[in-house]
Structure formats: structure tokens, C-alpha cells
């Protein structure tokens, strides 16, 4: 999807760079172009999708917003296509949460305040869920630990005292 050029703004906006044969870095001018050019191909798609999603049609591309997108995706540091997609979704969920929270906090009445802040909470929950998914895919899942503080052993019963490691799942013998 492309749009016509804007005065002083980007030359074109393209979700699929092949539409006009231009890459993301060719469609953006100035400092934003130089910053984007430093990123790998894995991140390029995530950056392109986020910028295309957050950009307001008919308004020149905001270099501050581009810098924020680059910083967020750099912080996530996707290493493959799936992580790149999650990085794009995390960035968009973050921006959506902040935007709806701001609208909620400045709402003219209580009904709009409630609607916007409930929506912001949903975006924040989505962000946390996606971040957990990213961490699990990287092998950084949460470790569950059970600490038994007191054990009662009845007469005739058996107990093991000490550290017990999980077995192979076989029972008996």
C-alpha cells in the first residue's frame, strides 16, 4: 500500500517495499533514514510495519516517533522472523496503551474516562503477555520453585529429607 508524497516528508509509505521497488530506507529522508539504515534485515520488517501502523496519514513522518520505534525494537533485539513480529506487536501495544491512557486521563466525562482507561489496561495486559511469550521463546521462562517448610510423617509413613530432583517419570522397583 503506498500513498502520494508529502511536502517535506517521506517520499512514499509502503507496507511491502516491493510495491514501488523501494526499501524502507529509500522511502524516508533525513536523520530517520540514516538511523534505520543501521539495522539488520530481521529488524527492518518490524520497523517498517510499526512505522506504517503508527504514522498518521497525510502528516509528515515524525522523526521523534521513528527514533522511539528504533529504540524500542533495538531494546527487544529480535533475532529471527517470529521475534521480529513480536517486537512489532510489543511496540504497537506499548504506543496504544499510552495513547489510550492519555485520552482517558484527559476525557471530558467519567464514561469516556472509564472506557479509555479500561482499553489502556487491556493494551498493557497484552504487552505483558507478549513480553512473556517472547521471553519463553528465548528460554527465559519463569522458574517455579516449591519450598516445603513443614512435613508431618505419620507412624508407618516414609519421608525423604533433602533436595529431590525430578526423575525420568518411571515409577516402581
pLDDT of 3 over the 50 cut: no
Residue 50 included in any domain? yes
Where helices occur in 17-171 by DSSP H, the ranges are 30-37, 41-54, 63-76, 81-105, 110-137
Q: Which residue has the higher pLDDT, 15 or 143?
A: 143
Distances (CA, A) of 21 to 10, 25, 165: 15, 12, 58
What average pLDDT does this structure show over 66-77? 88
Residue 149 included in any domain? no
Q: What angle (nearest 5°) sits at the alpha carbon of residue 15, between those of residues 9 and 20?
A: 75
pLDDT tens-digit map of 15-35: 333 334 545 445 555 445 444
Spell out the residues 6+ positions from residue 44 whose beta carbon is closer than 8 angstroms to its own.
23, 24, 36
Least confident piece of the model among 24-38, 39-53, 62-76: 24-38
**Based on the structure, what is the number of domains in the chain?**
1
Residue 146 included in any domain? no
**The residue count for the chain:** 173
pLDDT of 89 over the 90 cut: yes
- Tell me which residue range forms the domain holding 22: 17-137
Nearest to 47 by CA among 1, 78, 21, 22: 78
pLDDT of residue 10: 36
pLDDT of 144 over the 90 cut: no
Residue 96 included in any domain? yes
User: pTM, whole model, 2 decimals?
Assistant: 0.60
Give the DSSP per-residue string, 11-58.
S---SSGGGTT--TGGG--HHHHHHHHTS-HHHHHHHHHHHHHHSPTT
pLDDT of 75 over the 60 cut: yes
Amino acid at each position: 500500500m503506498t500513498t502520494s508524497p508529502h511536502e517535506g516528508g517521506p517520499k512514499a509509505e509502503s507496507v511491502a517495499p516491493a510495491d514501488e521497488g523501494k526499501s524502507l530506507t529509500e522511502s524516508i529522508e533525513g536523520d530517520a533514514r540514516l538511523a534505520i539504515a543501521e539495522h539488520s534485515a530481521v529488524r527492518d520488517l518490524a520497523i517498517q510495519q510499526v512505522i506504517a501502523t503508527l504514522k498518521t496519514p497525510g502528516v509528515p513522518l515524525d522523526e521523534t516517533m521513528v527514533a522511539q520505534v528504533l529504540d524500542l525494537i533495538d531494546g527487544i533485539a529480535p533475532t529471527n522472523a517470529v521475534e521480529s513480529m513480536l517486537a512489532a506487536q510489543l511496540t504497537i501495544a506499548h504506543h496504544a496503551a499510552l495513547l489510550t491512557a492519555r485520552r482517558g486521563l484527559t476525557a471530558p466525562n467519567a464514561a469516556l474516562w472509564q472506557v479509555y482507561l479500561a482499553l489502556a489496561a487491556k493494551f498493557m495486559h497484552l504487552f505483558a503477555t507478549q513480553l512473556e511469550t517472547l521471553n519463553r521463546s528465548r528460554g527465559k521462562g519463569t522458574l517455579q520453585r516449591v519450598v516445603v517448610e513443614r512435613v508431618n510423617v505419620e507412624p508407618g509413613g516414609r519421608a525423604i529429607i533433602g533436595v529431590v530432583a525430578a526423575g525420568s517419570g518411571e515409577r516402581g522397583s
